[in-house]
Amino acid sequence: MSTLGCLYMIPVPLAENAMHTLPSEVSVVCKRIQYFFVENLREARRFLKQIDKEINIDELHFSETNRNATLDLSLFKKWLLEGKEVGVLSDAGCPGIADPGAELAAVAQQMGARVIPLTGPSSILLALMASGLNGQSFAFNGYLPVKEPERAKKIKVLEVLSNKENQTQIFIETPYRNNALLQDLTRHCTAKTLLTVAINIGAADEKIITKNIAQWSASDITLAKQPAIFLILGQ
Protein backbone atom coordinates (compact mmCIF):
# COMPACT_ATOMS: atom_id res chain seq x y z
CA MET A 1 0.00 0.00 0.00
CA SER A 2 1.46 3.36 -1.04
CA THR A 3 1.96 6.11 1.51
CA LEU A 4 -0.18 9.22 1.09
CA GLY A 5 1.53 12.48 0.34
CA CYS A 6 1.05 15.59 2.46
CA LEU A 7 -0.12 19.17 2.01
CA TYR A 8 1.96 22.14 3.13
CA MET A 9 0.13 25.42 3.76
CA ILE A 10 2.88 27.86 2.82
CA PRO A 11 2.76 31.54 3.89
CA VAL A 12 3.84 34.37 1.59
CA PRO A 13 4.93 37.90 2.69
CA LEU A 14 2.16 40.48 2.92
CA ALA A 15 4.24 43.24 1.33
CA GLU A 16 7.00 43.71 -1.24
CA ASN A 17 10.54 43.15 -0.01
CA ALA A 18 9.35 41.51 3.21
CA MET A 19 10.91 38.07 2.85
CA HIS A 20 12.42 38.61 6.30
CA THR A 21 8.94 38.02 7.77
CA LEU A 22 9.11 34.33 6.86
CA PRO A 23 10.80 31.72 9.05
CA SER A 24 13.63 29.63 7.61
CA GLU A 25 11.40 26.55 7.51
CA VAL A 26 9.44 28.06 4.60
CA SER A 27 12.59 28.28 2.49
CA VAL A 28 13.59 24.70 3.32
CA VAL A 29 10.17 23.33 2.34
CA CYS A 30 9.86 25.40 -0.85
CA LYS A 31 13.26 24.24 -2.09
CA ARG A 32 12.13 20.63 -1.71
CA ILE A 33 8.55 20.64 -3.01
CA GLN A 34 7.89 20.20 -6.73
CA TYR A 35 4.08 20.20 -6.78
CA PHE A 36 2.10 23.37 -6.07
CA PHE A 37 -1.43 24.72 -6.07
CA VAL A 38 -1.14 28.51 -6.39
CA GLU A 39 -3.49 31.49 -6.45
CA ASN A 40 -1.52 33.19 -9.22
CA LEU A 41 1.07 31.38 -11.32
CA ARG A 42 3.19 34.44 -12.09
CA GLU A 43 3.30 35.56 -8.46
CA ALA A 44 4.11 32.03 -7.29
CA ARG A 45 7.02 31.74 -9.71
CA ARG A 46 8.36 35.12 -8.57
CA PHE A 47 8.06 34.15 -4.91
CA LEU A 48 9.91 30.87 -5.41
CA LYS A 49 12.72 32.66 -7.24
CA GLN A 50 12.97 35.03 -4.28
CA ILE A 51 13.28 32.02 -2.01
CA ASP A 52 16.18 30.66 -4.08
CA LYS A 53 17.36 31.81 -7.51
CA GLU A 54 18.68 28.29 -8.12
CA ILE A 55 15.19 26.74 -8.08
CA ASN A 56 14.46 25.39 -11.56
CA ILE A 57 10.92 26.65 -12.13
CA ASP A 58 10.55 24.57 -15.31
CA GLU A 59 10.87 21.37 -13.30
CA LEU A 60 7.96 22.27 -11.02
CA HIS A 61 4.29 21.37 -11.46
CA PHE A 62 1.63 24.05 -10.90
CA SER A 63 -2.16 24.19 -10.78
CA GLU A 64 -4.01 27.47 -10.17
CA THR A 65 -6.64 28.04 -7.47
CA ASN A 66 -7.92 31.52 -8.36
CA ARG A 67 -11.48 32.50 -9.26
CA ASN A 68 -10.79 32.22 -12.97
CA ALA A 69 -9.52 28.64 -12.78
CA THR A 70 -11.46 25.51 -11.86
CA LEU A 71 -9.86 23.90 -8.83
CA ASP A 72 -8.50 20.57 -10.08
CA LEU A 73 -9.28 18.32 -7.12
CA SER A 74 -8.74 15.19 -9.21
CA LEU A 75 -5.15 16.26 -9.84
CA PHE A 76 -4.69 17.11 -6.17
CA LYS A 77 -5.93 13.67 -5.08
CA LYS A 78 -3.71 12.03 -7.70
CA TRP A 79 -0.63 13.80 -6.36
CA LEU A 80 -1.46 12.80 -2.77
CA LEU A 81 -2.14 9.19 -3.77
CA GLU A 82 1.24 9.13 -5.50
CA GLY A 83 2.87 10.21 -2.25
CA LYS A 84 3.80 13.72 -3.41
CA GLU A 85 4.52 16.63 -1.10
CA VAL A 86 2.15 19.38 -2.29
CA GLY A 87 2.38 23.05 -1.39
CA VAL A 88 -0.37 25.65 -1.60
CA LEU A 89 0.50 29.34 -2.08
CA SER A 90 -1.76 32.38 -1.95
CA ASP A 91 -0.67 35.76 -3.32
CA ALA A 92 0.03 37.07 0.19
CA GLY A 93 -0.39 35.87 3.74
CA CYS A 94 -1.48 32.43 4.89
CA PRO A 95 -3.45 30.12 2.57
CA GLY A 96 -6.82 29.03 3.88
CA ILE A 97 -7.23 32.26 5.90
CA ALA A 98 -9.30 34.62 3.72
CA ASP A 99 -7.39 33.12 0.78
CA PRO A 100 -7.61 29.93 -1.31
CA GLY A 101 -6.48 26.70 0.29
CA ALA A 102 -9.24 25.60 2.67
CA GLU A 103 -10.87 23.31 0.11
CA LEU A 104 -7.58 21.54 -0.54
CA ALA A 105 -7.00 21.13 3.20
CA ALA A 106 -10.50 19.69 3.58
CA VAL A 107 -9.90 17.12 0.82
CA ALA A 108 -6.55 16.14 2.32
CA GLN A 109 -8.19 15.69 5.73
CA GLN A 110 -10.92 13.52 4.21
CA MET A 111 -8.28 11.35 2.54
CA GLY A 112 -6.34 10.99 5.78
CA ALA A 113 -3.33 12.87 4.40
CA ARG A 114 -1.28 15.07 6.70
CA VAL A 115 -1.88 18.84 6.46
CA ILE A 116 1.08 20.90 7.67
CA PRO A 117 0.58 24.65 8.30
CA LEU A 118 3.80 26.66 8.25
CA THR A 119 4.24 29.73 10.41
CA GLY A 120 3.96 33.03 8.61
CA PRO A 121 2.31 36.46 8.45
CA SER A 122 -1.48 36.76 8.59
CA SER A 123 -2.77 40.31 8.18
CA ILE A 124 -5.87 39.46 10.21
CA LEU A 125 -3.95 38.29 13.26
CA LEU A 126 -1.23 40.95 13.00
CA ALA A 127 -3.87 43.70 12.86
CA LEU A 128 -5.63 42.24 15.89
CA MET A 129 -2.37 41.92 17.83
CA ALA A 130 -1.53 45.60 17.31
CA SER A 131 -5.06 46.98 17.71
CA GLY A 132 -5.46 46.86 21.47
CA LEU A 133 -8.94 45.40 20.92
CA ASN A 134 -10.19 42.14 22.43
CA GLY A 135 -8.00 39.26 21.29
CA GLN A 136 -9.81 36.72 23.49
CA SER A 137 -12.99 36.82 21.43
CA PHE A 138 -13.05 37.90 17.79
CA ALA A 139 -14.65 37.06 14.44
CA PHE A 140 -13.53 37.56 10.86
CA ASN A 141 -16.35 38.55 8.50
CA GLY A 142 -14.63 38.89 5.13
CA TYR A 143 -16.05 41.66 2.94
CA LEU A 144 -19.06 43.74 3.93
CA PRO A 145 -21.89 44.30 1.43
CA VAL A 146 -21.02 46.99 -1.10
CA LYS A 147 -24.48 48.48 -1.64
CA GLU A 148 -26.90 50.25 0.68
CA PRO A 149 -28.98 49.60 2.69
CA GLU A 150 -27.36 46.18 3.18
CA ARG A 151 -23.99 47.74 4.01
CA ALA A 152 -25.32 50.00 6.78
CA LYS A 153 -27.43 47.18 8.17
CA LYS A 154 -24.42 44.84 8.35
CA ILE A 155 -22.26 47.47 10.07
CA LYS A 156 -24.92 48.05 12.71
CA VAL A 157 -25.46 44.32 13.25
CA LEU A 158 -21.74 43.77 13.77
CA GLU A 159 -21.48 46.73 16.14
CA VAL A 160 -24.39 45.50 18.26
CA LEU A 161 -22.91 41.99 18.37
CA SER A 162 -19.48 43.36 19.25
CA ASN A 163 -20.90 45.43 22.10
CA LYS A 164 -23.09 42.62 23.44
CA GLU A 165 -20.42 39.90 23.32
CA ASN A 166 -17.34 42.12 23.86
CA GLN A 167 -16.14 40.57 20.60
CA THR A 168 -13.82 42.23 18.09
CA GLN A 169 -15.33 42.19 14.61
CA ILE A 170 -12.82 42.08 11.75
CA PHE A 171 -13.39 42.70 8.03
CA ILE A 172 -11.53 43.69 4.88
CA GLU A 173 -12.15 45.92 1.90
CA THR A 174 -10.91 46.36 -1.65
CA PRO A 175 -8.18 49.07 -1.49
CA TYR A 176 -9.95 51.59 -3.73
CA ARG A 177 -12.98 51.50 -1.39
CA ASN A 178 -11.04 52.06 1.85
CA ASN A 179 -12.10 55.67 2.27
CA ALA A 180 -15.74 54.93 1.50
CA LEU A 181 -15.78 52.22 4.17
CA LEU A 182 -14.15 54.52 6.72
CA GLN A 183 -16.82 57.14 6.02
CA ASP A 184 -19.59 54.55 6.35
CA LEU A 185 -18.21 53.31 9.67
CA THR A 186 -18.03 56.83 11.11
CA ARG A 187 -21.56 57.46 9.83
CA HIS A 188 -23.23 54.32 11.17
CA CYS A 189 -21.31 53.41 14.35
CA THR A 190 -21.76 55.09 17.74
CA ALA A 191 -19.22 57.61 19.01
CA LYS A 192 -17.59 55.35 21.63
CA THR A 193 -17.08 52.30 19.40
CA LEU A 194 -13.39 51.61 18.83
CA LEU A 195 -12.19 51.31 15.26
CA THR A 196 -8.77 50.07 14.16
CA VAL A 197 -7.56 50.59 10.60
CA ALA A 198 -4.48 48.60 9.59
CA ILE A 199 -2.92 49.59 6.27
CA ASN A 200 -0.19 47.80 4.32
CA ILE A 201 0.82 45.46 7.12
CA GLY A 202 4.38 44.22 6.86
CA ALA A 203 5.58 47.08 4.66
CA ALA A 204 7.89 49.92 5.64
CA ASP A 205 4.94 52.36 5.55
CA GLU A 206 2.65 50.13 7.65
CA LYS A 207 0.05 52.01 9.70
CA ILE A 208 -2.12 50.47 12.45
CA ILE A 209 -4.27 53.10 14.19
CA THR A 210 -6.96 52.69 16.85
CA LYS A 211 -9.37 55.51 17.78
CA ASN A 212 -13.00 55.73 18.78
CA ILE A 213 -15.52 56.74 16.13
CA ALA A 214 -15.77 60.28 17.47
CA GLN A 215 -12.01 60.72 17.09
CA TRP A 216 -12.02 59.22 13.59
CA SER A 217 -14.86 61.58 12.63
CA ALA A 218 -12.90 64.59 13.86
CA SER A 219 -9.67 63.62 12.11
CA ASP A 220 -8.78 64.50 8.55
CA ILE A 221 -7.37 61.19 7.36
CA THR A 222 -7.34 59.88 3.81
CA LEU A 223 -6.58 56.19 3.53
CA ALA A 224 -4.22 55.01 0.83
CA LYS A 225 -5.34 52.55 -1.83
CA GLN A 226 -3.45 49.75 -0.13
CA PRO A 227 -4.46 46.44 1.50
CA ALA A 228 -6.40 47.19 4.67
CA ILE A 229 -7.97 45.43 7.65
CA PHE A 230 -10.76 47.05 9.69
CA LEU A 231 -11.63 46.07 13.28
CA ILE A 232 -14.40 47.37 15.54
CA LEU A 233 -15.16 46.83 19.22
CA GLY A 234 -18.40 48.21 20.62
CA GLN A 235 -18.25 50.11 23.92
Q: What is the mean pLDDT of the chain?
A: 93
Domain count, the chain: 2
Q: Indicate which CATH number applies to the domain containing 188.
A: 3.30.950.10
Domain membership of residue 1 (yes or no) is no
Residue-wise pLDDT tens digits, 130-153: 999 999 999 999 999 999 999 999
Q: Indicate which CATH number applies to the domain containing 65.
A: 3.40.1010.10
Same domain, yes or no: 25 and 101: yes
Residue 190 backbone class (left: φ over 0; alpha: ψ -120 to 50; beta: rest): beta
Per-residue pLDDT band at 2 (split at 50, 70, 90)? low
CA 232, CA 134: separation in Å to the nearest integer? Answer: 10
Per-residue burial over 68-89, b = 16 or more CB atoms within 10 Å of its CB, e = otherwise: eeebeeeebbebbeeebbbbbb
Domain membership of residue 148 (yes or no) is yes
Domain C-terminal end among 117, 141, 156? 117
Per-position DSSP letters for 53-101, written without gaps between them: TT--GGG-EEEE-STTS---HHHHHHHHHTT-EEEEE-SSB-TTSSSTT
Percentage of the chain beyond pLDDT 70 is 98
Residue-wise pLDDT tens digits, 38-58: 999 999 999 999 999 999 999
Same domain, yes or no: 15 and 72: yes
Same domain, yes or no: 137 and 95: no
Same domain, yes or no: 84 and 146: no
Residue-wise pLDDT tens digits, 205-218: 999 999 999 999 99
Task: Note down the domain range covering 36.
Answer: 6-117
Same domain, yes or no: 141 and 221: yes
